[in-house]
């Protein structure tokens, strides 16, 4: 993993964290992306079906193999000392078998926790957090 994608090198703010996450995700480096989550993180990439632990990691690794391209920006953020709630507008361009691209987009709800090193990590990743997405 390059230093540019090392999870411990991104700046400390939540906006910088999201920017770093997008860059890291688009690099295709699963290990670097996974390092941006807490060990007990919960991801809800399919509405109503939360994943954690090994199942979350395997799903993420498999999805990243198809090389989707992510864009995201913060719509709202609420930050305390060690916890942050982000509402994000996101878009994924996902290559399909026909050689085209499927576009997925929505409004996500994410909870971040600051670790002992002061770095933000995803504790809850819910890209379909806005009820209008469901």
Domain count, the chain: 1
Phi, psi of 24 (to 5 degrees): -65, -45
85-110 pLDDT tens trace: 999 999 999 999 899 999 999 999 99
Q: What is the CATH number of the domain that holds 63?
A: 3.10.450.50
Q: Is the pLDDT of residue 7 over 60?
A: no
Q: Give CA angle at 49 (118, 105), nearest 5°.
A: 75
Position with higher pLDDT, 64 vs 1: 64
Give me the chain's average pLDDT, please.
89
Domain span at 61: 3-133
Q: Is the pLDDT of residue 3 over 60?
A: no
Give dist(CA 133, CA 41) in Å, integer. 21
Pairing of strands 37-46, 120-126: parallel
Q: Is the pLDDT of residue 134 over 70?
A: no
pTM metric for this prediction: 0.86
Give dist(CA 131, CA 87) in Å, integer. 12
């Amino acid at each position: 993993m390059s230093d540019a994608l090392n999870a411990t090198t991104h700046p400390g703010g939540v906006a910088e964290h999201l920017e770093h996450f997008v860059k890291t995700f688009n690099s295709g480096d699963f290990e670097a992306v996974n390092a941006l989550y807490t060990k007990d993180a919960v991801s809800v990439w399919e509405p109503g079906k939360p994943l954690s632990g090994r199942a979350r990691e395997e799903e993420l690794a498999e999805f990243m193999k198809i090389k989707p391209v992510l864009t995201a920006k913060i719509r709202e953020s609420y930050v305390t000392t060690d916890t942050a709630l982000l509402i994000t507008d996101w878009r994924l361009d996902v290559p399909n078998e026909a050689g085209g691209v499927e576009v997925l987009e929505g409004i996500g709800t994410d909870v971040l926790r600051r670790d002992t090193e002061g770095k933000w990590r995803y504790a809850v990743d819910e890209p379909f957090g806005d009820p209008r997405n469901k």
